[in-house]
A and B are shown apart, each in its own frame.
Chain A
Amino acid sequence: MPLIQVKDLRVGYNVYEGLLKVLDGINFFVERKEKVGIIGESACGKTTAMKAIMRILAKNSVLMGGKILYDGNDILRMNDTQFTEIRRKKFSMIFQDPSAALNPVFTIRQQFYDIIRYSSNQRMTKDMIHERAVELLKQAALPEPERILDSYPFQLSGGMKQRVNIAMALVSANELLIADEPGTALDVTIEDQILRLLKKIVEERRISIILISHALGTIKHFVDRIYVMYAGTIVESGPTEKVFKNPKHPYTQLLIDSVPKLTGEGVPEGIPGIVPSYLNPPHGCRFVTRCPYAMQVCKEKVPPSYEVEQLHYASCFLYDNGENGKDE
């Protein structure tokens, strides 16, 4: 049984103009000790999916359907006490913007101590809490832990803040670490260091990670398996090697093509057409408005997921060979 299995998750947001139908029935899973990547351009719903797992979706969000199974139990149906235990002992999330994820008016010490204190069932002494904080800051490769602890967030650099966030996440990431574009707000060399650090940590701890990125190059050497998202749907998934060598969905192909060839880094640019609005998304495939191979059927039906090679799936009618595709 996978550690996490997301089934047909549908999430929308209520806004003044109506309902934004963002996540349109997405399916994915994460095995224990597996490193999974999610890529897709800005606003395709990556953060929304992760917030759903942590149950921290915004107030105006609407859960329209689906399940998120953790060891077979639907976390969306757990009561707050049960899920708080999971937040304290099993899952952690690192946010996109390291500066925004730390409370600006408390020292790192105050914030870190509380996180450690409340994640433990036993009463911990101040010394024990302190020792743990220093140990985790060291694991996050931060020198001078005392100085860091006494600082306010605004006194630290972006990279240091993200390492502090990582150290804090490690308090409870005993099974799953969600890293939502952990380096996007930082410069490239720092981003690289952060990713290496995360890789080392998840391998040492033997935990699972979901790493999100909209830059292909950063994720390529990091994860075992990858999901490609477009406009609230998962369009392709498979072992990282296979997806990069042999992309099947037209969106993935364009995405990989549009990355500057020399470095393999950078943000994809220049896929023609515009992303559909979440207010009135296309009825069939959400990529139909930009797809060079769009057919009549794409406008009418949502493409199922076809196994294009072993463990490699694409949701595209190009791979419909008469038999019905698999639904996940």
Chain B
Amino acid sequence: MIARVLPGDPARLALGPRAPQQAVDALRAELHLNDPIFVQYWYWLSGVFTGNWGISLFTQRNVLIDVSEFLPATVELILAAAIIDLALAIPLGMLAGRMANTFVDNTVRIISYIGIAIPAFVVAIILQLTLGYGLHIFPIIGRLDQSIQPPPRITGLYVIDGLITGNFSVAANALWHLVLPAFALALGPIAQEARILRSSVVENLNKDYTLAEISHGLPERIITLKYLMKPSLIPMITIYALDISSQIANAFLIELIFNWPGFSRYGLNAMLSKDLNAIVATVMVAGIMFVVANTIVDLVVSYLDPRIRFQAESEE
């Protein structure tokens, strides 16, 4: 809706300043731009459900086709970032909490401050310059080496498609390309979540139930990895949900920097060129991803915290 009240004429922008006025008028009519706004909304809404998301003024295709082409790259990137995020934030947070105020904790703290203070796009450029350009360990741009053909399209996620179709070298190459952009995306959330996990670990270490577990003689490994970790993860996972949901926005710049042919970049182009249908689709897809991420996390949190689970059941 907001997209429709922005200043500037989208038809004019699409056709360029030198197009004749008749052409612009014709396009406006075709796009129903002269109709009242709620009529426009109705056209759009009925289109969403019939697969007609409108034509992108920029790519000249049904926006739905654009979405299905560009979205998988972003989904793959965000998923990779989400996995790296969990895989690092949990051990770092647990370690820092368990060893609070030691050298280990202080090291994690410094890494965290750096991760929180430096914006993702700066991290991206630094990684690109050092590990990519300088040391040639990781590729700098794109999803695959130029010489490699994408795997047959099933999900659109190259790593997964590569694995499914047995093109392991393609999958490995795609994975290799994912490392830097995904890590750049994940660093901020890792830093924040590790801090949150650390503070719940420290808090829960002083709880009577932890003291009781120690006094029952349970092994330290069981106490830490089972009885301490589960309650401590709850606040962190909630923040994790928010972090993942906002990754589609953070991915805008990362995709630009790594020349990643993804949806965020598509959305950015749509906004710059005032491509109405594409903007609306971008917002909608971002919204859907937000809802999906939050739903998954709600399920995880209710698995971790029986109090929430039973409360939800008794309300039904």
- Top 6 nearest A-B pairs by Cβ distance? A88-B217, A87-B217, A100-B208, A56-B211, A103-B209, A152-B306
Contact of A101 among B209, B222, B231, B307 (CB under 8 A): B209
A97 B208 Cβ-Cβ under 8 A: yes
Q: Does A276 touch B at the CB level, under 8 Å?
A: no
Residues of A close to B218: CB separation below 8 A = 114-115, 118
Question: Is B153 engaged at the interface, CB distance under 8 Å to the other chain?
Answer: no
Which chain A residue has the least Cβ–Cβ distance from B227?
A103
Is the beta-carbon distance between A115 and B216 smaller than 8 angstroms?
yes
CA distance A8 to B305 in the complex (A): 44
> Interface centre among A104, A107, A152, by most B CB within 10 Å?
A104
Question: Which B residues are closer than 8 A to A by beta carbons?
Answer: 100, 205-209, 211-219, 222, 226-227, 230-231, 234, 304-307, 310
Partner of A165, one of B212, B231, B234: B212
The residues of A that contact B227 with a CB separation of less than 8 Å are 103, 106, 111
Residues of A within 8 A of B306 (CB): 104-105, 107, 152, 154
Pick the contact of A58 from B206, B217, B230 — CB < 8 Å? B206
For this complex, 24 residue pairs linking A to B, each with C-beta atoms less than 8 Å apart, are A54-B215, A85-B217, A87-B216, A93-B212, A95-B208, A95-B211, A100-B209, A102-B212, A103-B231, A104-B307, A105-B230, A105-B231, A105-B306, A114-B222, A114-B226, A115-B218, A118-B222, A119-B216, A152-B310, A154-B306, A165-B212, A168-B212, A168-B216, A172-B217
Residues of A within 8 A of B216 (CB): 87-88, 92, 115, 118-119, 168, 171-172
Q: Is A123 an interface residue (CB 8 A)?
A: no
Give the residue of A59, A104, A114, A154 whose beta carbon is less than 8 angstroms from that of B231. Answer: A104
Within 8 Å CB of A157, what residues of B? none
A104 touches B209 (CB 8 A): yes
Tell me the bound Cα distance from A84 to B214 in angstroms: 8
Contacts of B207 in A (CB 8 A): 100
Q: How many residues of A contact B (CB 8 A)?
A: 36
Give the CA-CA distance A88 to B214 in the complex, in Å.
Answer: 10
A156 to chain B, nearest CB (A): 12
* In the bound complex, CA of A84 to CA of B216 (Å): 8
Contact B209 A102 (CB under 8 A): yes
**How long is the Cα–Cα vector from A91 to B226 in the complex, in angstroms?**
23
B residues near A73, Cβ cutoff 8 Å: none
How distant is the Cα of A105 from the Cα of B230 in the complex, in angstroms? 7
The verdict on A51 contacting chain B, using a C-beta distance below 8 Å, is: yes
Q: Which residues of the partner chain B approach A172 to less than 8 Å between Cβ atoms?
A: 216-217
A155 CB–B CB distance under 8 Å? yes
Closest to A96 in B: B208
Contact with B along A90-131 (1 / 0, CB 8 A): 011101110011111111000100110011000000000000
The complex places the Cα of A168 from the Cα of B216 at a distance, in Å, of 8
Taking CB atoms, residues of chain A closer than 8 Å to B100 are: 59
Give A152 to B213 CA distance when docked, in angstroms: 16
* Of A92, A102, A114, A172, most B-chain CB atoms within 10 Å: A114
- Contact across chains for B307 and A51 when beta carbons are under 8 A apart: no
In the complex, which residues of chain B have a beta carbon less than 8 angstroms from the beta carbon of A92?
215-216
